[in-house]
């Protein structure tokens, strides 16, 4: 949700604008409403920005002509103010000396704006961000140096934010502050970077410091100063981490879109997830112990991570645990009564989703033990949970989660299996999971043709139902979310048995209804399939080959029959046909599946 980056180099660079453009391209998945950069060159601040994608704006506004030794950049996901040129970041003060880029929300911006207006400041945008450069300017006008003014300005802001700033009087200095929204400082040779995501730092260095909440500071090549707001300077010597990703992991390879690449990567990402779980034996056993010893296990996440949570909670129940799943954004209600004897599993690809982070904080406050499942070990959720399990899915760039969803489900199943008391169950499942990468490849292969041909039909559909019972429901919900997000087809998932209690009234001839047949209560799905067919629905069933019955065959207009596998392996893999269907439907509709409208990959505002 907005990507920010700042870079300072020891020697002036003619290509600073090009470097910022490249960094912004890596952050584009965080927001693509508008793009902008600001550089300081020979004591002059220059700003270029506009509405649109990074490449287009960079070309239009001549980013390549910008040189200097320090600069900031921003990709925007609009919160305050429409996506217009005026509202694009960076924002500047009246004197054109200070430029600021920001991710998050400044809650008290209206009152600050009013105060600054009364002091003669003129605003050019509707954003909350613009108060920051004016505030710094105002505080500097009474004699403060830039850092003191910046620090004081930050202490006056309420909300959740990450901010970077430059001042025309400081040719190599980046000012930064973090409150809730993530911010990382990358330490390179003759270069220092500050960014909301490690992805934009990696081409320069894999050494980084993750800032804590309420930290503020400044950086120049070879110098980083950080302090806690209201506290003393931080000792960074023990906080430098080495990041595992290689810069090449971020490319699209031979694929047209990241989404397709990430779907196809699943045999590999799942192999990585599993080998990571095996090698992190201690953490995994600790996490399993926490769950096994708890009175109740609550599994919490948002979006796709919530769907993975639903699969996980149901699987834990299947193993005899008292487990429940709920959406992170409602945690404050669902966590009432949760206490020391309980465990909370927080599922989050990014590890930065604000709703999930707040659920983690509330759980910790209540004394519950928290296990996080994240794809970013540097993330806030990983750092604040008592125990975390690293998914190792590799970077996921497409806004729609695909490979991280299957890794989350695999990790939840694995955790359940490790804590299961029945030794023969454990060894049977572990044995089955060993074949997961190979089965995944075969599920992709078995689904590809059907997904392409169904996509042609779905490209003209208005709506669809995705139905399943028990485990089939969360997998259907994830399928419906995918096609909704990337292809803009209105799709709703229901527990199949609920379809008769209202939803069926929408079904007319050719209305698409997808059924996921996986595991428990499968025999009851047959009745639902017959009911839908009787009303003229276009029925598609996704099921294991050995579950094809005469009733299903007779009543299905299309079938995606998948390899016969154990329940656990099907929980991970049966979403894949839906991922492919969503992808190809988006392509059929001429949409870019990597950039669904209105969405950002990491949601860091409430």
Q: Among 66-74, 119-127, 175-183, 598-606, which window interacts with ligand M6R (CB under 6 A)?
A: 598-606
> Is residue 602 within the footprint of ligand M6R (CB under 6 A)?
yes
Choose which of 215, 485, 522, 526 interacts with ligand M6R (CB under 6 A): 485
Q: Degrees (nearest 5) of the Cα angle 410, 413, 419?
A: 140
Find all residues with CB under 8 Å of 31, minimum gap 6, and list them.
1, 2, 3, 75, 76, 77, 78, 600
Q: Among 131-139, 243-251, 273-281, 302-310, which window interacts with ligand M6R (CB under 6 A)?
A: 302-310
Phi/psi of residue 139, nearest 5 degrees: -70, -35
> Is residue 555 within the footprint of ligand M6R (CB under 6 A)?
no
Choose which of 87, 350, 406, 499 interacts with ligand M6R (CB under 6 A): 350
Least distance (Å) between residue 256 CB and ligand M6R = 19
> Is residue 262 within the footprint of ligand M6R (CB under 6 A)?
no
Least distance (Å) between residue 485 CB and ligand M6R = 6
Bridge pairing between strands 68-76 and 3-13: antiparallel
Residues 401 to 430: which contact ligand M6R by CB under 6 A?
A: 401
Choose which of 270, 302, 321, 385 interacts with ligand M6R (CB under 6 A): 302
Give the helix ranges, DSSP H, for 519-566: 522-534, 550-555
Going from the C-alpha of 428 to that of each of 133, 418, 431, 505, 562, the distances in angstroms are 61, 11, 5, 43, 21
Residues 38 to 77: which contact ligand M6R by CB under 6 A?
A: none
Quick one: residue 206, left, alpha or beta (phi over 0 = left, psi -120 to 50 = alpha)? alpha
3-state secondary structure of 256: coil
Q: Among 53-61, 447-455, 586-594, 596-604, which window interacts with ligand M6R (CB under 6 A)?
A: 596-604
Least distance (Å) between residue 273 CB and ligand M6R = 14
Q: To which residue do tokens 């919160």 refer?
A: 79
Distance between first and last Cα of the chain = 11
Q: Among 27-35, 117-125, 195-203, 595-603, which window interacts with ligand M6R (CB under 6 A)?
A: 595-603
Tokens of 90: 């960076």
The footprint of ligand M6R on this chain (CB under 6 A) covers a number of residues equal to 16
Quick one: residue 230, left, alpha or beta (phi over 0 = left, psi -120 to 50 = alpha)? left
Least distance (Å) between residue 219 CB and ligand M6R = 27
Choose which of 21, 349, 440, 579 interacts with ligand M6R (CB under 6 A): 349
> Is residue 305 within the footprint of ligand M6R (CB under 6 A)?
yes
Is 2 among the catalytic positions? yes
Half-sphere exposure (CA, 13 Å, Cβ side) for 62? Answer: 6
> Is residue 353 within the footprint of ligand M6R (CB under 6 A)?
yes
29/161 with CB nearer ligand M6R:
29
443/562 Cα distance (integer angstroms) = 6
173/465 Cα distance (integer angstroms) = 54
Catalytic residue among 2, 403, 484, 533, which?
Answer: 2
Q: Among 252-260, 393-401, 435-443, 541-549, which window interacts with ligand M6R (CB under 6 A)?
A: 393-401
391/403 Cα distance (integer angstroms) = 10
Choose which of 34, 103, 181, 304 interacts with ligand M6R (CB under 6 A): 304
Catalytic residue among 113, 482, 484, 601, which?
Answer: 601
What residues are labeled active site?
2, 601
Residues that bind ligand M6R (CB under 6 A): 302-305, 348-350, 353, 356, 399-401, 485, 599, 602-603
């Amino acid at each position: 949700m907005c990507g920010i980056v700042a870079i300072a180099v020891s020697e002036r660079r003619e290509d600073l604008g090009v470097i910022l453009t490249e960094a912004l391209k890596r952050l584009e998945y965080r927001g693509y409403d508008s793009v902008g950069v600001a550089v300081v060159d020979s004591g002059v601040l220059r700003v270029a920005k506009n509405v649109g994608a990074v490449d287009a704006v960079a070309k239009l506004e001549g980013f390549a002509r910008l040189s200097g030794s320090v600069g900031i950049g921003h990709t925007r996901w609009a919160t305050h103010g429409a996506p217009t040129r005026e509202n694009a970041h960076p924002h500047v003060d009246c004197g054109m000396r200070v430029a600021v880029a920001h991710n998050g929300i400044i809650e008290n911006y209206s009152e600050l704006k009013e105060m600054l207006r009364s002091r003669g400041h003129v605003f050019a945008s509707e954003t909350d961000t613009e108060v920051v450069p004016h505030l710094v300017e105002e505080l500097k006008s009474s004699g403060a140096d830039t850092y003191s003014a910046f620090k004081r300005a930050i202490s006056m802001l309420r909300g959740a934010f990450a901010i970077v700033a430059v001042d025309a009087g400081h040719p190599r200095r980046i000012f930064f502050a973090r409150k809730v929204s993530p911010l990382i400082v990358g330490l390179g040779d003759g270069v220092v970077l500050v960014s909301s995501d490690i992805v934009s730092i990696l081409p320069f260095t894999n050494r980084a410091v993750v800032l804590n909440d309420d930290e503020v500071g400044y950086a120049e090549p070879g110098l980083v100063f950080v302090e806690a707001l209201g506290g003393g300077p931080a000792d960074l010597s023990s906080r430098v981490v080495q990041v595992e990703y290689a810069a090449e992991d971020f490319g699209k390879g031979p694929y047209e879109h990241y989404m397709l690449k990430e779907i196809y990567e699943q045999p590999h990402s799942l192999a990585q997830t599993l080998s990571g779980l095996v090698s992190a034996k201690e953490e995994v056993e600790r996490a399993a112990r926490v769950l096994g010893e708890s009175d109740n296990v609550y599994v919490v996440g948002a979006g796709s991570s919530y769907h993975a949570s639903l699969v996980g909670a149901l699987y834990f129940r299947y193993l005899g645990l008292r487990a429940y799943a709920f959406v992170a954004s409602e945690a404050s209600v669902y966590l009432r009564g949760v206490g020391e004897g309980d465990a909370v599993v927080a599922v989050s690809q990014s590890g930065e989703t604000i709703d999930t982070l707040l659920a983690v904080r509330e759980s910790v406050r209540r004394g519950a033990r928290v296990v996080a499942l994240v794809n970013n070990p540097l993330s806030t959720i990983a750092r604040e949970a008592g125990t975390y399990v690293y998914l190792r899915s590799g970077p996921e760039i497409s806004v729609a989660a695909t490979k991280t969803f299957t890794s989350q489900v695999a990790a939840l199943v694995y955790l359940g299996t490790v804590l299961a008391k029945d030794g023969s169950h454990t060894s049977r499942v572990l044995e089955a999971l060993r074949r997961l990468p190979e089965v995944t490849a075969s599920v992709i292969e078995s689904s590809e043709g059907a997904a392409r041909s169904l996509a042609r039909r779905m490209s003209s559909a208005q709506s669809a139902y995705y139905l399943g019972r028990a485990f089939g429901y969360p997998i259907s919900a994830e399928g419906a979310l995918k096609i909704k997000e990337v292809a803009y087809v209105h799709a709703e998932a229901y527990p199949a048995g609920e379809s008769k209690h209202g939803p069926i009234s929408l079904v007319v001839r050719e209305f698409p209804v997808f059924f996921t047949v996986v595991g428990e209560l499968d025999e009851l799905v047959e009745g639902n399939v017959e009911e839908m067919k009787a009303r003229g629905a276009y029925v598609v069933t996704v099921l294991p080959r050995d579950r094809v019955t005469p009733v299903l065959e007779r009543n299905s207009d299309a079938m995606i029959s998948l390899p016969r596998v154990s329940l656990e392996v099907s929980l991970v893999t049966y979403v894949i046909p839906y991922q492919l269907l969503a992808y190809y439907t988006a392509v059929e509709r001429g949409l870019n599946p990597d950039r669904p409208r209105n969405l950002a990959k990491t949601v860091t505002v409430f």
